[in-house]
Amino acid sequence: MTNLHAEQLEQALQLHQSSTVRSLIDGINPADLADLMQHLSLKAQLSLIEQIDSAALVMEFLPLHSQHQIAEAMAPQQLVKLISAMPSDDRTDLFKLLSPHLQRFVSLHITEEKRAQIQTLARYPEESAGAIMSSDFVVLSPELNMQQAIDELRRMTTDRETLYLIYIVDELMKLLGVISLREIIQNPPEQKIKNVMRTDLVTGLVTEDQESIAQKLSHYDFLALPIVDDAQHLLGIVTYDDAMDVVQAETTEDFLKSSAVASSPGMSIKTAPILLLYRKRVFWLVILVFGSLLSGIGIAHYEDTIAAHIVLVFFLPLLVGSGGNAGSQSATLMVRALATGDVQFKDWLHLLGRESLVALCLGGTMAFAVSILGYYRGDMMVSVVLALSMLGIVLMGCLIGMSLPFILHRLKLDPASASAPLVTSICDATGVVVYLFIASQLLL
């Protein structure tokens, strides 16, 4: 959608030109309409929500912070109508962000069934399967035949996440099997569900981490994954689109951590308060300031060597920067490999050998290049010092960058915390010591 389209829609909404608004949004996919809405003012967004029939569907495609902003500005009765039409998981996410007085109002005016869904889903911990699952699924009895199943599906309400997969349960909601709508239609009308349903089920625990749930959906290429408790009672489903939202959120979180920025669920860089952005960034920056002092201590220890061979200062940023860059590359590769399950802690020794060979090749290439510059700026001994230092610094940088995510993972900490700034600070300090130690030994 173009900015021109958004400007035309904004103007039409301000002038209350309903027919023009209709013509501008006619035929637009709800996801595209949600994108268009984000270019409108809040007043225009509220006006548009009042004029479209698929308001709840459009709201699903808006970022959570935008949903919250719109909900808080809506008339309470209109909010009740909107939130009642949303899927159970999206409804719960939005409800939890509402101010206390709006939560009380909504609770009093929605149906008892929807109120119970919100209360149930809201009690699960953040980033668990229970927090992202939906209660809008279809269940049938195994004793029904295909014709009875079709009749039952026709009587059901339409507010379901998916009708393609139907879950088969007993009287206590214990999950017995699953059957697809295609299988129901294609089998003879008198055939019983229990004779056709699949019982080799892949499920997720309600307490399981949401990233693990997303990985299962991706691995098995499912449209939805049933979520159960320890006794295999069906509690909800996580659909593929919700899993993709999880993947995007986890990727964003890891990306922020890799830059030493604390993440916040639903945080928008455009609308986040200045104080929040300050708090999310200041901790690691202060820690890294003190980490950088280690480099200063190393330089102070070898002051005499530096004073006697001032040319060493020219190459100091180049060498320590190369070590930090190599370490950041290794850390990024290992963090991603651990996140996807490509490697485990038991692979550390094997990967250590492989990384050492790669680091020696990289360091050797860079050592050759820098030695030429060292000979030009200094002499043969300076060239040798630079070559050996570059080889050692790159080797140490790669091994530090590769090992730190494994150590954090072993300590049950997030490997993404082995961020580029953290690895760089450690590699800088070790690089200074390696460089000046070699120089002090060879340039006597």
Percent of the chain with pLDDT over 70: 90
As a residue count, the chain comes to: 444
Q: Which domains does the chain have, with CATH numbers?
A: 3-123 (1.25.60.10), 139-258 (3.10.580.10), 274-442 (1.10.357.20)
Tell me the pTM: 0.62
Position 258 pLDDT exceeds 80: no
Weakest-pLDDT range from 107-111, 191-195, 215-219, 384-388: 215-219
| In contact, 160 and 167? CB cutoff 8 Å | no
Sheet with 165-169, strands from edge to edge, namely 139-140, 165-169, 175-180
pLDDT, the chain, mean: 86
Q: pLDDT tens for residues 293-329? A: 778 888 888 888 888 888 888 889 889 889 888 988 8
Q: Compute the average pLDDT of residues 83-107.
A: 91
Would you call 128 helix, strand, or coil by DSSP?
strand
Q: pLDDT tens for residues 342-353? A: 888 888 889 999
Would you call 2 helix, strand, or coil by DSSP?
coil
Q: Residue 218: what pLDDT?
A: 84
Would you call 225 helix, strand, or coil by DSSP?
strand
Q: How confident is the model at residue 435 (pLDDT cuts 50, 70, 90)?
A: very high
Q: How confident is the model at residue 292 (pLDDT cuts 50, 70, 90)?
A: confident
> Tokens 């129901």 correspond to what residue?
184
Q: Where are the beta strands (DSSP E) in 15-159?
A: 139-140
* pLDDT winner (highest mean) among 226-235, 289-298, 412-421: 226-235
Q: Residue 286: what pLDDT?
A: 79
Question: Of 384, 392, 372, nearest to 309 (Cα)?
Answer: 384
Position 158 pLDDT exceeds 60: no
Rounded Cα gap, residues 134 and 381, in angstroms: 69
Rounded Cα gap, residues 246 and 269, in angstroms: 19
Question: Of 142, 139, 140, 96, nearest to 119 (Cα)?
Answer: 96
Q: Residue 94: what pLDDT?
A: 92
| In contact, 168 and 177? CB cutoff 8 Å | yes
